[in-house]
């Protein structure tokens, strides 16, 4: 024996006895039938009836007739109002998201401007340090040239001192010879 449950919107479910609690399409199973006020239950021997389509044909496709029946104007108005409310909520959410993204964009622009300013300052400092480096290199070259010039003058002076000492010695030797004669 199987149980057939016809929901108020004419959905047909076949299975074991269950409670008529529908939560997102999940049906809670139980051995009781205390939900007769919500569902119309019928006990049917379904041994020869396996497919749901056959069960639908037994009940005369009443569910499809009810679904295709035009809804009243108030139902359509309610649906339109509900849809309008949903769209208004969505619009408000999108506005909040847009404001948040706009604020984030402005913050990013401020950071970008700050980073650009920092990059410009660092670029200027780099140029200044390169100029100073070139000046220091030029000064070092000039100093090396001056050092080489001074070293050669010191060597010349040292050679001249040695020469002068030799001449003085020769002169003093000649004077002593003159005095001796």
Q: What is the pLDDT of residues 42-79, one digit of tens each?
A: 555 555 545 556 666 666 555 555 555 555 568 888 88
Together in a domain, 121 and 168 = yes
In a domain, 80, yes or no: no
pLDDT one-digit tens code per residue, 114-126: 999 999 999 999 9
* Residue 84 falls inside a structural domain: no
User: Is the domain of 98 the same as that of 164?
Assistant: yes
Q: What is the pLDDT of residue 57?
A: 64
The answer to whether residue 79 sits within a structural domain is: no
Q: Which ranges of the chain would DSSP assign to H, the alpha helix?
A: 52-58, 62-68, 73-180
Residue 82 counted as domain residue: no
CA distances from 181 to 137, 172, 173 (A): 65, 14, 13
Whether 122 is covered by a domain: the verdict is yes
Which range of residues forms the domain containing residue 124? 90-181
Residue 75's pLDDT is 85
Question: What is the total count of domains within the chain?
Answer: 2
Q: What values do phi and psi take at 95, rounded to 5?
A: -65, -45
Q: In the predicted model, is pLDDT for residue 100 greater than 70? A: yes
91 confidence band (pLDDT: 50, 70, 90): very high
The answer on 115 and 65 residing in a single domain is no
Q: Which residue has the higher pLDDT, 96 or 23?
A: 96
C-beta separation of 33 from 17 below 8 A: yes
Query: Is residue 123 one of the residues assigned to a domain?
Result: yes
Is 94 in the same domain as 50? no
Q: pTM for the whole thing?
A: 0.40
The answer to the question of residue 168 being in a domain is: yes
């Amino acid at each position: 024996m199987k149980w057939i449950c016809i929901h108020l919107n004419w959905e047909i479910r076949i299975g074991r006895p269950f409670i008529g609690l529908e939560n997102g399409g999940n049906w809670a199973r139980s051995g009781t039938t205390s939900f007769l006020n919500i569902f119309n239950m019928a006990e049917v021997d379904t041994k020869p009836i396996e497919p749901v389509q056959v069960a639908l044909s037994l009940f005369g496709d009443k569910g499809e007739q009810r679904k295709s029946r035009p809804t009243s104007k108030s139902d359509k108005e309610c649906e339109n109002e509900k849809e309008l409310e949903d769209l208004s909520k969505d619009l408000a959410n999108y506005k909040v998201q847009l404001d948040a993204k706009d604020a984030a964009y402005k913050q990013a622009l401020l950071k970008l401007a700050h980073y650009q300013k920092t990059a410009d300052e660092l670029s200027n400092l780099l140029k200044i340090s390169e100029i100073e480096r070139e000046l220091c290199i030029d000064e070092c070259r000039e100093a090396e040239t001056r050092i080489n010039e001074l070293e050669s003058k010191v060597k010349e002076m040292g050679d001249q001192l040695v020469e002068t000492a030799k001449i003085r010695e020769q002169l003093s030797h000649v004077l002593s010879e003159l005095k001796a004669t």
